[in-house]
Amino acid sequence: MRKYAILFLIFLCGCSVAQIRQELFGLDINDLKSAKQKCTDVFDIKPSDCFSKVEGIISEMDATVNRKDTERLFLTASNFNNAYSYCINTTSLAVLIEADGPDKSRVFIFSKNSSLAKFVSEEVFKKLRE
The per-residue pLDDT for range 103-129, each reduced to its tens digit, is 999 999 988 888 999 999 999 999 999
At 6-54, the pLDDT tens digits run 656 555 554 455 555 555 555 556 665 666 668 999 999 999 999 999 9
Residues 6+ apart with CB under 8 A from 125: 39, 41, 43, 107
Q: What pLDDT does 91 receive?
A: 80
Q: What pLDDT does 19 receive?
A: 52
Confidence tier at 1 by pLDDT (50, 70, 90) = low
Q: Is 110 helix (H, G, I), strand (E, B) or coil?
A: strand
What pTM was estimated for this model as a whole? 0.75
Gap between the Cα atoms of 79 and 33, Å rounded = 22
Q: What pLDDT does 114 receive?
A: 86
Considering the domain 27-129 in this protein, what is its CATH number? 3.30.310.80
The answer to whether 69 and 85 are in contact (CB under 8 A) is: no
Confidence tier at 82 by pLDDT (50, 70, 90) = confident
